[in-house]
Amino acid sequence: MSIQINQTVKIMFEVKIDGIIVDGSRSNKPFEFQFGVGQVIAGLEKRIMNMKAGEATQFIVPASEAYGEYDPKGIQSLPIEQFEGIKDLKIGMQIQAEDENDQPIQFIIKEIKEKEVIVDFNHPLAGKDLEYKVKIDSLL
């Protein structure tokens, strides 16, 4: 029987970008998630939905079905005063915060200037096609 909505799915997987592994099953333990409820990217679910336990496949999830296209408007300049409480602020640092509506946001420090900090609100994998290797371990 193939995967059903709300079913617990366990997969062994590997994700590469340009041939370099960027994610995968940890310690040879399957990754577990609820299918069809938004716990994983839509492009992954779309490509495994007709699979059964024990089946394996490889595919590419385009950026548009993964973390979206890279948006240059995601680069913004913020006053350095907004970072006063952060120790050791440095380029490349990922920061999690809340927006004006108390919703979680994440951004990366791109540049630190005298009076401002340049940040990138794009997901680190935005604009990247993801090469997946997946084996369905079990369906619960």
Smallest Cα–Cα separation from 20: which of 135, 134, 129?
129
Domains defined for the chain, CATH in brackets: 8-68+126-139 (3.10.50.40), 72-120 (2.40.10.330)
Alpha helices in the chain (DSSP H): 42-48
The pTM of this model reads 0.81
Largest CA distance in the chain: 60
pLDDT, position 25: 87
- What's the N-to-C CA distance of the chain in angstroms? 11
Give the span between the Cα atoms of 42 and 48, in whole angstroms: 10
Give the span between the Cα atoms of 15 and 60, in whole angstroms: 9
pLDDT tens digits, one per residue of 128-138: 999 999 999 99
Smallest Cα–Cα separation from 31: which of 17, 47, 44?
44
Q: What are phi and psi of 135, to 5 degrees?
A: -130, 125
Q: Output the six-digit token pair for 92.
A: 């490349």
pLDDT, position 86: 87
How much is the mean pLDDT over the chain? 94
pLDDT tens digits, one per residue of 34-69: 999 999 999 999 999 999 999 999 999 999 999 999
